[in-house]
């Protein structure tokens, strides 16, 4: 029997591909999913930041998730490339960040009983980027930790540019 907690969005995860590998993020953090639109490059930024883009009047930084997870050197854009817009919060404000992924897959309900701790070996990405490992249809999917993936200090330069 499902508990009330298991029915809410805490257990829903959007899955997406990076280099044909499946990853997930909690839908709690996701604001919207967009088709890829070109971004404006900003000089002297961290290599994982593709640049900035304007979404409905808001300038937001766009982070290449494959580069951030150190899975590839640069992003190859195709017709399935998407931007997942997530909302981040810090002590001062809420702000939006776009994450470039190869392809969005679907939303899965992954109950706490189907989530495992991150193993210390065998990962393609750094352990701090993975919150848990979810089991879906016999497959293991890394559930990313948005606080580790999106480091506020790395994005602060973009926000300084926005105010100019």
Tell me how far apart the alpha carbons of residues 83 and 116 are, in angstroms, rounded to a whole number.
27
Quick one: tokens of 86? 């997530």
Tell me how far apart the alpha carbons of residues 83 and 18 are, in angstroms, rounded to a whole number.
12
Tell me how far apart the alpha carbons of residues 84 and 13 are, in angstroms, rounded to a whole number.
13
Assigned fold of 4-162? OB fold (Dihydrolipoamide Acetyltransferase, E2P) (2.40.50)
Tens digits of residue pLDDT in 131-161: 888 888 888 899 999 988 887 665 555 444 4
Quick one: tokens of 163? 């105010």
Tell me how far apart the alpha carbons of residues 158 and 164 are, in angstroms, rounded to a whole number.
10
Mean pLDDT of 43-60: 84
pLDDT at residue 32 greater than cutoff 90: yes
**CA 23 to the chain's CA centroid:** 9
Tens digits of residue pLDDT in 55-103: 888 899 999 999 888 888 876 788 999 999 998 876 777 889 999 999 9
pLDDT at residue 54 greater than cutoff 70: yes
Its pTM stands at 0.81
Tell me how far apart the alpha carbons of residues 66 and 37 are, in angstroms, rounded to a whole number.
17
Instruction: List the domain boundaries for the chain.
Output: 4-162
């Amino acid at each position: 029997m499902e508990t009330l907690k298991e029915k809410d969005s805490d257990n829903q995860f959007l899955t997406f591909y990076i280099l044909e590998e499946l990853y997930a993020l909690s839908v709690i953090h996701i604001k919207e999913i967009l088709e890829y639109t070109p971004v404006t490059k900003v000089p002297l930024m961290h290599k994982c930041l593709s640049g900035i883009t304007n979404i409905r009047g808001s300038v937001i930084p766009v982070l290449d998730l494959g580069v951030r997870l150190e899975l590839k050197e640069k992003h190859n854009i195709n017709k399935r490339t998407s931007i997942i817009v997530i909302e981040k919060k810090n002590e001062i404000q809420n702000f939006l960040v776009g994450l470039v992924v190869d392809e969005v897959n679907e939303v899965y309900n992954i109950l706490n009983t189907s989530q495992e701790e991150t193993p210390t070996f065998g990962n393609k990405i750094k352990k701090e980027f993975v919150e848990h490992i979810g089991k879906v249809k016999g497959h293991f999917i890394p559930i990313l930790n948005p606080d580790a993936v999106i480091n506020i200090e790395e994005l602060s330069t973009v926000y300084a540019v926005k105010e100019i």
